[in-house]
Amino acid sequence: MPDRLPEPALRAVDAVVVRVPDLDAGLAFYRDELGHELLWRHDAIGQAGPRLPDAESELVLATDVPPGPAWLVDAVEPAAERFVAAGGRVVSPPADVPVGRVAVVEDPFGNPLVLIDLSRGRYTTDAAGRVTGLTPPPS
């Protein structure tokens, strides 16, 4: 083991994505039946974010994104480059999403990891939880 470890590439679990057939059905189950408060809903991208009450991360209901965790990183491009330099590979190159950038990498053991940064900020919402814009990230 090295004397000093590098700064960790993965900061936290930003979200755990669950695929649903449509947002209303997903919310009927996760919000109405299981009690998870809706934080935000973005119909244009087919996603909604119910709260996980004991975590900083959230549940994301998505109509066309694969299920699994989304790992928060400081910046997607350098994080993806670190995965490649360490023996991993890029599965899906960095791309824009409403809140920042996202990429999918794979570790040397075949595990895909979704990397996301919040470089554009976090969603702002109206009283019903519908996304109205973004709050810029702190400087």
Instruction: Report how many domains make up the chain.
Output: 1
Residue whose token pair is 């057939």:
21
Q: In angstroms, rounded to a whole number, what is the distance separating the alpha carbons of residues 94 and 73? A: 12
Residue 6 lies in a domain: no
Q: In angstroms, rounded to a whole number, what is the distance separating the alpha carbons of residues 88 and 82? A: 8
Contact 58, 15 (CB under 8 A): yes
Residue 98 lies in a domain: yes
Q: In angstroms, rounded to a whole number, what is the distance separating the alpha carbons of residues 55 and 96? A: 26
Residue 67 lies in a domain: yes
Residue whose token pair is 């350098």:
78
What confidence category does residue 138 fall into, taking pLDDT thresholds of 50, 70 and 90? confident
Residue 7 lies in a domain: no
Residue 127 lies in a domain: yes
**The pLDDT of residue 49:** 97
Of 79, 129, 82, 128, give the one whose Cα is nearest residue 100: 79
Percent of the chain residues past pLDDT 90, beyond the cut: 91
Residue 77 lies in a domain: yes
Phi, psi dihedrals of residue 55, rounded to the nearest 5°: -145, 155
Domain range for residue 123? 12-135
What confidence category does residue 137 fall into, taking pLDDT thresholds of 50, 70 and 90? confident
Residue 34 lies in a domain: yes
Residue 1 clears pLDDT 70, i.e. is over it: no
Q: In what order do the strands lie in the sheet with 100-106?
A: 38-42, 47-50, 58-62, 12-19, 68-72, 112-117, 100-106, 89-97
**The pLDDT of residue 99:** 95
Q: pLDDT for 78-98, tens place per residue?
A: 999 999 999 999 999 999 999
CATH number of 77's domain = 3.10.180.10
Residue 111 lies in a domain: yes
